Chain A
């Protein structure tokens, strides 16, 4: 049933009523049911050589049905979303954990842990709809870009205009006569298309711990692969001519590398400012594909060096344990494929991840810890 509220202010003494169903007005559903999850899982754990080497491997196949989905609808209906048991999603994958102790002795110990998770995710049904946009998952810039779920594809697709291409995959540029875009500018795809999932397919990390007498050194490298990100920062850098790519054709004009509708190579010259502004945030023929990047990365996430004061030095005084550590976090990005931005940057906290705009990257931090035990 629809709920209403009364505003906490009034006009000339008259109360102001509103429809208050959900955080964003939502069409309520009286027949919602709980979701169901069916999961099959098989795993194997092994330890060898007196626990020097071990593994833990799991395969799972999880199907969520009757998933409660808030479906974004046209606000012209008077509401932003409706809620229904319509989702069916499958996640299947493998989780692997390897542990090893290459060196184990009285004074020196080296322990190593490697974990890897591979997940294959597919939206199997959205109650007959081909796709739905995730609530609030819109970037500030770019035509009709959203994060949507599309049947048959992994969760969280970036939807937007791609370059229109000929059968050989070459970009088609407008001749300015038979196409709506200005001459020499790329033609957008007919309608928005999925440009890749924003959910990582492979994630994992490698931890090493080395201990020599009272000194311990720990380090963690982690990685994520197989997701895309839509970068508002790079879009604005294009718009303002601050992106390296916009240097092309700055003197003499830009000629897009592709063909015209008739198949002949494109030779039309466009002033570089006009070209790069129109495909980013000027004009109305924005090409979202240009700003979709591979969000894969490998990062040296943390390292610490700890000195534990030997118990013998403390005798049996008031303090029973004391350690000193130097800790560093977010030390380095060892690999990334996103120019100018951190691939982990995000503009919102909804389920619609994979949108980025002028966010600060994670900062490298150094700390010094003193740990007392009483």
Chain B
């Protein structure tokens, strides 16, 4: 009896000890890892991927900002579907803030973590510079869309405990990212280790390629200041050019996608155009008419007419002469209202006779995402030369830029015009200095197709192409094309002091009609 009691006591005591020992283990999630175990390269990869616009695998922010708003506002696409608010300048707060909502707590948090990890570690110097360059790119887009926004204090919730980041002025963000790009480009060193390698989806971590990306991005930012501060614009343009920018499509900052359904690996815009909302939009009449009137050889690679756009397998008819654009500002056909599509000036009797995005090039789940291209860069060089900010012949820059922009389709997008066709078109449509800025920026509008947020920014800056707004009842802009996206409504309660200060700086408040710093009249 006594022996068994002692035995029981021993069993109980050892059970108690095991329980205490297991406490940490039981509270540690076996499916997760901590900072000492994570390979930070994996966070960098994901930051690049999420910046391409499909953070949730359902095209969330590409659908709302890139397509529903930006593409319709600059009249690449049009829609008769009620929730495609950008077609008619209607307001939806969560659509406006989608890009912000998805990027700050994901890609911004990740890139900030990697930067923090790599900073001060001399063996990770190249990775650190690449983080600085990519973060600059991310915030150029963010501030172009929203204006003043959290930048210097963004993504530091864990690192510094900042839970209500300050909204930096766009001018300050611009100046800082220009210096970041310059500093990072200079510090990139091919002699130092390339630790990230293939985990960098853009350049396999090659420092020379990142340097060109940095200077090309610098050129984009510099030229964005052409209205508000031509002196700084010219100066930074010169810095960028002497540093060395993209000259060829092989240097493009482009992210390749895979057809891996319901994951962010898929191209977000491609997913919407082919799979999730294939019948919700058409190509805009403004865009198709422009391509037709200029005999642009890209038309059959940008457009297609599908008998039933809802069927992904229907790749349609890509013959240029059959392409037709649907005007913006209309309701669905035969709905009986004043804005019935059947009243459209070019109503073809069937909505499916209007073109949709070409399904061999951009409307694909594995279509690439272009962050920055040689075509865009070359066009900005042509403009800088035309303005006298850099040396060289604007016509020569223009010619090279259009060649790159047109050949990008066959080189990287799936199908496009041949070099012979491109050269013949250029010979027939030479550069005209008298309307150089218009020609250049209309080409930019085509070259940036599907990078709609970028096209929206360059249209606001350059004023080209001259777009005629629609005026549908209930629009929130008084019948003018919006000038920015509005902040997330949750910021009013989660970050009230900084939000209210930023809204107070916006002329007219947090509206789509308020202009960002560089967008002076």
Contact = CB atoms under 8 A, between A and B. Distances in A.
Interface stretch (B43-51, B329-337, B461-469): B43-51
Interface stretch (A7-15, A205-213, A317-325): A7-15
Contact of A76 (B42, B43, B104): B104
A27 interface: yes
A20 B31 CA distance: 10
B157 A77 contact: yes
Interface stretch (A50-58, A67-75, A300-308, A359-367): A67-75
B91 A284 contact: yes
B17 interface: no
Contact of A12 (B90, B256, B511): B256
Contacts of A18: 43, 46, 106, 110
Contacts of A133: 490, 493-494
A17 interface: yes
Interface size class of A (residues with CB under 8 A): 35 or more
A221 interface: no
Interface string B145-177: 000011001111110011111000000000000
A65 interface: no
Contact of A74 (B94, B161, B165, B257): B165
Nearest to B42: A17
Interface stretch (A110-118, A141-149, A290-298, A335-343): A141-149
A2 B511 CA distance: 37
A77 B164 contact: yes
A78 interface: yes
A284 B506 CA distance: 15
B508 interface: yes
A140 B489 CA distance: 11
Contacts, number: 185
B283 to A, nearest CB: 27
A131 B494 CA distance: 9
A189 B29 CA distance: 46
Contacts of B509: 180
A221 B42 CA distance: 59
B303 to A, nearest CB: 29
Contact of A78 (B100, B157, B500): B157
Contacts of A77: 104, 150, 153-157, 162-165
B34 to A, nearest CB: 5
Contact of A15 (B42, B105, B149, B260): B42
A4 interface: yes
Interface in B251-275: 256-258, 260, 263-265
B32 interface: yes
A225 interface: no
A80 B201 CA distance: 27
A11 B49 contact: yes
Contact of B46 (A17, A71, A191): A17
B38 interface: yes
Contact of B164 (A74, A78, A80): A74
A17 B38 contact: yes
Given A12-B258, A18-B43, A3 B492 contact: no
Contacts of A282: 90-91, 474, 476
Interface in B489-509: 489-496, 498, 500, 508-509
A284 B93 CA distance: 8
B425 interface: no
Interface string A71-101: 1111111111010000000000000000000
Nearest to B106: A18
Contacts of A192: 492-493
A357 interface: no
Given A14-B198, A143-B489, A78 B158 contact: yes
Contacts of B155: 76-78
A283 interface: yes
Given A17-B46, A18-B46, A78-B156, A5 B32 contact: yes
B109 A25 contact: yes
A16 interface: yes
Nearest to A3: B32
B39 interface: yes
Contacts of A233: none
Contacts of A145: 489
Given A11-B265, A15-B39, A74-B164, 14 more contacts: A1-B34, A3-B29, A14-B45, A14-B198, A16-B264, A17-B39, A73-B495, A76-B100, A77-B162, A77-B165, A78-B109, A79-B163, A80-B105, A284-B510
